[in-house]
Structure 1
Amino acid sequence: MTDTSNDQPEPFDLKSDDVAARKRADFKRLFPEVFNEDKIDLDQLRRVLGDWVDEGSERFGLTWPGKAACMRVIQAPATGGLRPDRDESVNFDESENVFIEGDNLEVLKLLQKAYFGKIKMIYIDPPYNTGKEFIYPDKYAETLGTYLSYTGQRGDDGRRFSTNSEEDGRLHSNWINMMYPRLYLARNLLKDDGVIFVSIDDNEAANLRQLCDQVFGQENHLVTMYVQVRYPGKTLAEKNDYQKLIEQVLVYTKADFSPKKESEEYKIEKFCWHIDELEEGHVTSIGGRDVEIFKPGQYKITKVPPSTSALKETWATGSVLKVNASGKYFGKNLAPRKSQDGLKVLYKVKGIGEDGLGFRYFTGPQKESATKGKFFSGVPLKRLEQMKTGSARKEKPILNFHNFADAFGNCRHEGAIDFRGGKKPIEFLKTLIRQSLASDEQDIVLDFFAGSASTAHAVFDLNKEDGGNRKFIMVQLPEPVSEEDRQEHFNTISELSRERIRRAASKLAPHAEKGSPSNIDYGFRAFNLSPSSFTSWDAASDIAQDDLLAEIEGHASHTSESATDDDILFELLLKDGFELTTKVEQASVAGGKAYSVADGALLICLERNLTKDIIDALADLAEKEDAARVVCLDAGFQGNDQLKTNAVQTFKSRLGHGEDGSIFRTV
């Protein structure tokens, strides 16, 4: 990368504000998915806003069978809940890391309210569509019922997840239909300065690039990284004509991500040139600037020992002509003058540079076949000041090629778990995390195709390495462990994932797993995707007349009989916009229990037999903690309308009204 810090800023834009262009840019930030070739697809905009239309006339862009219906899938509400599993967790009450077992489409929907715009980095390693993975081939809108049937939580009357193959003629469209809703929902979770990394090989790389362009916006594609994952010759597939050594990582931002780059000491070793003006040159005006032109023999360029008073040469070629002010000036104004000024001339252009010289030297082409030249610049004044205090550093560009062949070849046993199903090495993942999250940032890394939880392991390892406080959310479908990976007692990949996190933590901090004090969070809260803790009336269900009364009576208390207080509590938190790791404290209220959420921001009472004493004690607690809202179970009043009416008046008289009405609610 060429150092452009020497150059002055671009000229101030004196044009009046283009209101339409500004509004269009704002609109594109909100809805990048409705733009095709910088034109607004009004039909797609209507779909995004919930006004359904069928596919319209053909336009440029990625299209496939089922594309229009994907928006229905995205907009369909989540119907499940995330139930805490304390037995599978480590340090549940204190940890700010999360592991969720479940179908990631439903989970991403459930996370929308609490985590909208809060995730700094997403890394996913989705199925590469080789025809072997579980990817929902028939209907990309897998329902919660299908998932529950698949995982044995409901009767085996639903469709099973199965593999995708070329035989049904929709190999690629099935895969895209699976990916599109998940990427769309994932974008919602990103911060404006967030970033997503998506690993892929060439089976779907071209389709994924177009898909991400639609979801995130083509202008938000930062780079495609190329990662060497194996060494040449290290394969038994001699029958293949080509050996694939490289995989890709597509990198997109939501709006304005800036990577964390490594820096090095600013050095002056390239400042080793001196220019002598032997005679006066011809003075003219070029491109609005005063320029003195020296012919061969009128100047001399000499290489000298590096010093702060010497100059650095830079070729005006390639990207320098587009991104560097001096390069742009050369390409636009000096390169075309070869026939007019001749070869081997020196241009002294006034008013360019931040090195205090007041001018910049340029050399024109040196031979007839050449079109490019060089420019010479001094050490910027800002750098000179930094050098006096020893703070002069220069950021290093991030390469878009990484050789991790050795790490990929030896990662099978990382985390003390033997797993072959596409396992990613932690050094590779740490490289991506370093680019995204500084050590002092308490930001979240999300991986909703978690696999063996390598990403969680990488977060632990990097936090220990630099004392960071990064957090993670892992989501993994409970896919059966393949026979080749069935080295231990694990039946599903999610079981294996949780154990891998525990073993990684135990190795990095032997006592952390047991809750011993540590400045690094090595725990995690485990959750399982399950039916909602609240039953809902299905108006479309076919209920016999004789069973209707029993069905109505069953909905008098619409909390599920199997739901524990923990299940109900965390479902309410998530659906009210609180994160899964929100601090919750238990309090006693007249012999009952209440939960204080986020230092009193919300009080929840799940008692099934509410009394006046409990209501009064709950009001006392709400006053003490200056609670913004109080929630009780409607079933807790057991049909006592008078008690409920009195409760409303109690909270209204003692606590007043919230922004949207009474602070007291029932569920």
Structure 2
Amino acid sequence: MIKNIEKSNENVAINDKEIAVLREHFPACFKSDGSFDIERFKETLKDKVDVVHEGYELKFLGKSYAKLLASLDTTTVITPNEEHNSQPENENSENIYISGDNLDGLKHLLKSYAKSVKCIYIDPPYNTGSDGFVYKDNFNFTAEELQDKLSVDENQANRILELTQKGSASHSAWLMFMYSRLQLAKDLLKDDGVIFISIDDNEQANLKLLCDDIFGEESFVATIPWRKRTAKSDVSFGVSQDYESIVCYAKKNFIASMKGGSRKYYETDDLINRPWRIHDMTTQRNADERPNSNFTIVNPKNGDEYPVNPNAVWRVTTETIKDYIKENRIVYPGDYDFLNISKPVLRYFKDDDEKKAGEMFGFLPVSTNLPKEIGMSQDGTKDIAKLFETKVFNYPKPISLLKYLIKMATNHEDECIVVDFFSGSGSSSQAVIELNSEVDNLAKRKFISIQLPESLDKKNVSQKTAFEFLESNNLPTTLDYIGIERIKRAAKKIKEETKAEIDYGFKHFILNEPNPNTLDKCETFDKVNLIGDGSILEDFGVDTVLTTWLNYDGYGLTTKATELDLNGYKAYYHQKHLYLIHTDFTQDAVMDLFEKYDTIPHFNPENIVLFGYSFYEWSVTEMLEMNLKILNDTEKNLKINIEVRY
């Protein structure tokens, strides 16, 4: 699989993703030679969009390079921490902690969690000159390769390489570092998703322009000031920097709730002096989970019918909707010409009903003026000190602040994912667990945290305590293990205090680059040899291959594949995929496999995936394809794809 990715990366261009979107939605704007007709594109949009010829954009050294990095697939593999993951509190957990570079982590997440994340919170390096930020990556491009891939001249290519190879803390280096990560983060967000980014004045203006460029100006919600400390005598002269900013951007549906839109108060002739708002009546529950919400709503005024979506049924039930109809709480399409709705919505009012609806739906009004109880940096330090009984991390964000932001963006009753890909000490993970404990068995929030396993330095004054703590507890002396230990301790404390029945565990995964010896074996592997190379599988590990593939095929990181015995050969099966990873796949195993296809009613994996290094390809695929021809003539009429991955 690594070889396949490396080969694919060689042909990646920085705008491949954008071109693919245009080709999918505007095929008529592409000529027969594959070129894009911009004039036809403008003509297509002219009645819907004002096409302007003036404007501005953020430009910085390395922007095209950052786009390239976002486009390249990761060559890392996902290794599960089996000892940790098999513990009772973690075995069935849907929370995730990833140790690895967040650029690689985001690329892995996009394979299974694209458009699935409700809230992202990150506290990236501020590039203050004293926070340790220096740009670095492990890509080894030559100046000639960059000239070709980025369409830049030799001077620009060398300047970019200087940033990446020698390390830099310039504004351009910081923007290059953040651009690729935010570009990927955008694709994780749901249509009603939101991202919060903590920052100080050093890069706040650049971050705003960067997010305008990535998310679009229309996606900007607010810049929220957060007071991190009191001024008093913090500085001997000059101006005390007492505030940081939290920049907030969101996808379209969240914008409506934050900036007006569907949350605007309406006062209409049929409800004079009673301002009201509307709310979507669908939920993410399916018909099996909420059978009494699986029905067709009929408009009593004209008989129009609105069937339910079985995968997103109504929030109301067949009984509760009767009361809402009597109270004139249901608004139908066409009732008011200023409402652009295609299905019935629920009306609620600016009085006690609004408070009740806000608590139910998670849409209480919010302000950029944060409450005093949010706390400051010193409170974040106290939060972690309570768990470790020592200062192992400098000034993490207070839990109260993160809970406020997450609660602003999410509804505890909806299945939602909160992602933090600069996890640091694990504050956001603790915030999610605390929020869940407050609503007990109604809690649906899950967290995914990513942290680079940065080695701590005992000689560094700010890292000394953390290093000694990890060393004394026989833990790896890397920053991610501070976060891991914090989540464990916080979960234990919250469970003891609240007794809430929630998910207190998390699955742990490590992102690894294959070692050079393994890559050499992969490079010299002979596909037409008469035997597979079992040592390559040993180098990767079966669990690593299976976990990486399950995520790659869209099943996520917490999915467990079913082991399948094929006449003594162990295969792995989940939904549409059957994975053949081990060596020693025999003709008897083939016969047993196709007997299962033929005789087990619901056994029907459409894809058979082979770990190429475990097989002599031509013989195994020939055996499989020969039996497939026989199977395709049966009543099942199966269409099975065979894929070999290297």
**What's the CA shift for 1:466?**
1.1
Question: 1 CA distance for matches of 2:224 and 2:470?
Answer: 37
Q: Following TM superposition, by how much is the alpha carbon of 1:496 offset from its aligned partner in structure 2, in angstroms?
A: 0.9
Count residues in correspondence. Answer: 479
2:101 corresponding residue in structure 1: 103
Partner of 1:476: 451
Deviation at 1:554, TM superposition (A): 13
Secondary structure in structure 1 of the residue aligned to 2:78: strand
> Match for 2:577 among 602, 619, 623?
602
Contact 1:412–1:419 (8 Å) recurs in 2: no
1:652 deviates by 4.4
Is it true that 1:202 corresponds to 2:201 in the alignment?
Answer: yes
Q: Which amino acid aligns with 2:247?
A: L
Q: Distance in 2 between matches of 1:443 and 1:476?
A: 21
Which of 423, 436, 457 pairs up with 2:409?
A: 436
Matched, 1:399 2:396: no
Instruction: Please give the alpha-carbon distance, in whole angstroms, between the structure 2 residues aligned to 1:163 and 1:405.
Output: 37
Q: Deviation of residue 471 (structure 1)?
A: 0.9
Amino acid at match of 1:397: P
| Number of the residue aligned with 1:54 | none
The counterpart of 2:606, out of the listed 628, 634, 654, is 628
1:211 aligned onto 2:210: yes
List aligned pairs for 1:82-121, cutoff 5 A.
82-89=78-85, 90=87, 91-121=89-119
**1:88 to partner: Cα distance:** 3.9
**Closer/same/farther in 2, CA of residues 506 and 549 from structure 1, 3 Å limit:** closer
Query: Whole-Å Cα distance in 1 between the matches of residues 253 and 569 of structure 2?
Result: 49
Do residues 498 (structure 1) and 484 (structure 2) align?
A: yes
1:433 CA drift (Å): 1.1
State the partner residue of 2:247. 250
Residue in 1 that maps onto 2:381: 412
The one-letter code of the counterpart of 1:462 is L
CA 1:522–1:213: 2 relative to 1, 3 Å? same
In the TM superposition, 1:560-599 aligns within 5 A as 560-597=537-574
- Which amino acid is the alignment partner of residue 547 of structure 2? F
Task: Indicate how the Cα distance of structure 1 residues 511 and 399 shifts in structure 2: closer, same or farther if over 3 A, else same.
Answer: closer
- 2:25 and 2:394 mapped to 1: Cα distance? 37
Residue 189 of structure 2 is matched in structure 1 by: 190
Distance 2:210 2:82 in 1: 38
CA RMSD, Structure 1 to Structure 2 (Å): 4.4
1:392 to partner: Cα distance: 6.0
Partners of 2:183 and 2:542 in 1: CA distance:
33
Q: Say if 2:119 and 2:418, in contact at 8 Å, map to a contact too.
A: yes
How far off its partner does 1:552 sit? 10
Q: Equivalent residues in 2 for 1:177-576 (5 A)?
A: 177-233=176-232, 237-257=234-254, 353-356=269-272, 391=353, 393=355, 396-402=364-370, 403=372, 406-415=375-384, 416-417=387-388, 418-467=391-440, 468-481=443-456, 482-487=460-465, 488-489=469-470, 491-510=477-496, 519-532=501-514, 557=533, 559-576=536-553
**3-state secondary structure, aligned to 1:232:** coil
Check 1:431–1:511 CA distance in 2 against 1; reply closer, same or farther (3 A cut).
closer
Shift of 1:518: 7.7
3-state secondary structure, aligned to 2:425:
coil
What's the % identity of the aligned pairs? 29
Identify if the C-alpha distance between structure 1 residues 420 and 404 changes in structure 2 by more than 3 Å, giving closer, same or farther: farther
Alpha-carbon offset, residue 531 of structure 1: 2.0
Query: Would you tell me which structure has more strand in proportion to its own residues?
Result: 1
SS of residue matched to 1:249: strand
In structure 1, the residue matched to 2:293 is none
In structure 2, distance between residues paired with 1:551 and 1:583: 30
Change beyond 3 A, Cα 1:391–1:255: closer
Q: When the two structures are superposed, what TM-score results if normalisation uses the length of structure 1?
A: 0.63
More helix by share: 2
Q: Which region of structure 1 is more displaced relative to structure 2, 628-637 or 222-231?
A: 628-637
Q: Which string of whole-angstrom CA distances, capped at 9 and with x for unpartnered residues, describes residues 376-403 of structure 1?
A: xxxxx9699989x985647552010213
2:322 is aligned to none
Q: What do residues 164-186 of structure 1 show as CA deviations (whole Å, max 9, x unaligned)? A: 54xxxxx2111111000000011
Query: C-alpha distance in 2, partners of 1:160/1:173?
Result: 11
Flag the 1:632–1:176 CA change in 2: closer, same or farther, 3 A: same
> 1:621-643 CA distances to partner (integer Å, 9 max, x unpaired)?
4553232322233344446x445
Query: CA offset at residue 520 of structure 1?
Result: 1.4
Tell which deviates more after alignment, 172-181 or 605-614: 605-614
Letter in 2 for 1:650: N
Structure 1: gaps of 5 or more residues? 1-25, 32-39, 46-56, 146-158, 166-170, 262-318, 327-351, 359-380, 542-547
From 39, 42, 60, the counterpart of 1:64: 60
In 2, Cα distance between the equivalents of 1:357 and 1:637?
Answer: 76
Assess if the C-alpha contact under 8 Å between 1:260 and 1:436 holds in 2. no
Structure 2 residue 590 is matched with structure 1 residue 615:
yes
Distance 1:200 1:656, change over 3 A: farther
AA in 1 matched with 2:560: K
Higher deviation after alignment, 396-405 or 57-66: 57-66
CA distance in structure 2 between the aligned counterparts of 1:75 and 1:518, rounded to whole angstroms? 43
> 441-450 vs 212-221, which deviates more?
441-450
Contact 2:79 2:512 in 1 (8 A): yes
1:439 and 1:469 in contact (8 A); partners too = yes
- Amino acid paired to 1:630: I
- What letter corresponds to residue 222 of structure 1 in structure 2? V
Any idea what SS the aligned residue of 1:471 has? Answer: strand
Aligned to 1:127: 125
Hey, what's the Cα distance between the residues in 1 that align with 2:462 and 2:423? 19
d(CA) in 1 for partners of 2:394, 2:560: 36
Equivalent residue, structure 2, for 1:270: none
Cα deviation, 1:278-312, whole Å, max 9, x if unaligned, reads xxxxxxxxxxxxxxxxxxxxxxxxxxxxxxxxxxx
Secondary structure of the residue aligned to 1:401 is coil
Which 5+ residue runs of structure 2 have no aligned equivalent? 1-20, 27-35, 42-52, 142-162, 275-326, 331-346, 359-363, 472-476
Name the aligned partner's letter for residue 249 of structure 1: I
Q: CA deviation at 1:225?
A: 1.0
Q: Secondary structure at the match of 2:480?
A: helix
Q: 1:586 is paired with a residue of what secondary structure? A: strand
TM-score with structure 2 setting the length: 0.65
**Amino acid in the other structure paired with 2:209:** Q
Distance in 1 (CA, whole Å) between partners of 2:245 and 2:402 is: 13
Task: Output the amino acid matched with 2:512.
Answer: S
Given that 2:542 and 2:581 are in contact with CA atoms closer than 8 Å, whether structure 1 keeps it comes out as: yes
CA–CA separation in structure 2 for the residues paired with 1:498 and 1:164? 30
Q: 1:422 to 1:82 in 2, by over 3 A?
A: farther
**Alpha-carbon distance in 1 for matches of 2:353, 2:423:** 41
Q: 2:493 aligns to what SS in structure 1?
A: helix
Q: Specify the SS of the correspondent of 1:562.
A: helix
- Residues 116, 324 of structure 1: alpha-carbon distance in 2 compared, 3 angstrom cutoff: closer
Amino acid at match of 2:485: E
Distance 1:551 1:60, change over 3 A: same
Q: Which has the larger radius of gyration?
A: 1
Distance 1:74 1:595 in 2: 31
Q: Residue type of the partner of 1:585?
A: T
Tell me the CA shift for residue 95 of structure 1.
Answer: 1.4
Deviation digits for residues 27-83 of structure 1, max 9, x if unmatched?
8x999xxxxxxxx998xx9xxxxxxxxxxx996222111122222222222111111
